[in-house]
């Protein structure tokens, strides 16, 4: 009886130390005698000591901060870029069998890809199409990590840092562009105003009484403020008419 009790105790002890819990966000990759035997789903699993091993892989989305990378654009301008890459493990067995330390491998691959993508773009294109650069990086990294069972969900370029002299040049260029737009807008406004004045002049010239009505309306506007002083300019033709009437009166006398 004592030997049977000892044996049962040993079996229970082995079972207790063999239990492994696989959480809902994990997958277990089980090996027996060093050979892959399958992926284990969430729950309690038995892993026999010595002969079996089961590393657990987190399949949740991971955010990896890619540190600043020195890169040279297509037009030979040096800059520093950093990014965040979001990825997750789709096939746990490949993440263990096909690559060593897949987290480190993904980070290194992202750094190299960032430098290569930036090297294929000019600085203006990189600054204006940051989303396109991010999409290119994502596509390349996703394709290269597919054999590792990794799925890249997104890549976001965070900062593009330029040398101080280049920032000053870009600032001057932006200021010059704003001045150019201001001059163009002002010129367009002057052209429109001139066209409107020309149209108004044609309308007034086509209506005999329109100019007089406009003059009376202007005088009415000026007279609303008592501080205004109104000076009437009498046309030369009116003065000549008065002179002619005066001469006719003198002759009759």
Distance CA 61, CA 149 (A): 13
Which tens digits make up the pLDDT trace of 58-113?
999 999 888 888 888 888 888 888 999 999 999 999 999 999 899 999 999 999 99
Report the pLDDT value the prediction gives residue 78, as an integer from 0 to 100.
85
| 134 pLDDT more than 80 | yes
Which pair of structure tokens corresponds to residue 77?
């301008």
**Structural domains of the chain, with CATH:** 2-57 (no CATH), 62-167 (3.30.479.30)
Report the pLDDT value the prediction gives residue 244, as an integer from 0 to 100.
60
Q: Quote the mean pLDDT of the chain.
A: 80
Residue range 122-145: mean pLDDT, rounded:
90
Residue range 5-16: mean pLDDT, rounded:
74
Which tens digits make up the pLDDT trace of 42-51?
999 989 888 9
Q: What's the pLDDT band for 19 if we cut at 50, 70, 90? A: confident
Q: How far apart are the first and last CA of the chain?
A: 166
Report the pLDDT value the prediction gives residue 3, as an integer from 0 to 100.
74
Distance CA 73, CA 116 (A): 9
Long-range contacts of 105-108 (CB under 8 A, 24+ apart): 105/145, 105/148, 106/64, 106/141, 106/145, 106/148, 106/150, 107/64, 107/66
> Is pLDDT larger for residue 253 or for residue 131?
131
pTM above 0.75, yes or no: no
Report the pLDDT value the prediction gives residue 128, as an integer from 0 to 100.
85
Which tens digits make up the pLDDT trace of 150-203?
999 999 988 888 877 766 666 666 666 677 777 778 777 777 877 776 776 666
């Amino acid at each position: 009886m004592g030997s049977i009790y000892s044996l049962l105790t040993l079996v229970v002890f082995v079972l207790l130390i063999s239990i492994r819990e696989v959480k809902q966000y994990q997958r277990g990759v089980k090996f027996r005698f060093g050979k892959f035997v399958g992926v284990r789903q969430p729950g309690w699993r038995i892993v026999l000591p010595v002969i079996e091993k089961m590393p657990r892989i987190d399949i949740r989305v991971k955010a990896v901060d890619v540190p600043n990378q020195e890169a040279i654009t297509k037009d030979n301008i040096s800059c520093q870029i950093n990014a965040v890459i979001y990825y997750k493990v789709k096939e746990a067995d490949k993440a263990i069998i096909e690559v060593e330390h897949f987290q480190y491998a993904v980070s290194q691959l992202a750094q190299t890809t960032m430098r290569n993508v930036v090297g294929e773009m000019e600085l203006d294109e990189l600054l204006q199409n940051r989303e396109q650069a991010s999409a290119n990086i994502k596509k390349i990294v996703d394709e290269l990590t597919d054999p590792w069972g990794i799925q890249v969900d997104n890549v976001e370029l965070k900062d593009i840092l330029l040398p101080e002299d280049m920032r000053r040049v870009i600032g001057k260029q932006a200021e010059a562009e704003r001045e150019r737009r201001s001059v163009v807008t002002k010129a367009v406004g002057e052209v429109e105003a001139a066209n409107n004045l020309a149209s108004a002049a044609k309308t007034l010239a086509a209506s005999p009484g329109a100019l007089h009505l406009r003059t009376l309306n202007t005088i009415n506007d000026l007279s609303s403020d008592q501080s205004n002083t109104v000076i009437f300019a009498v046309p030369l033709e009116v003065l000549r008419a008065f002179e002619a009437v005066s001469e006719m009166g003198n002759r009759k006398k």
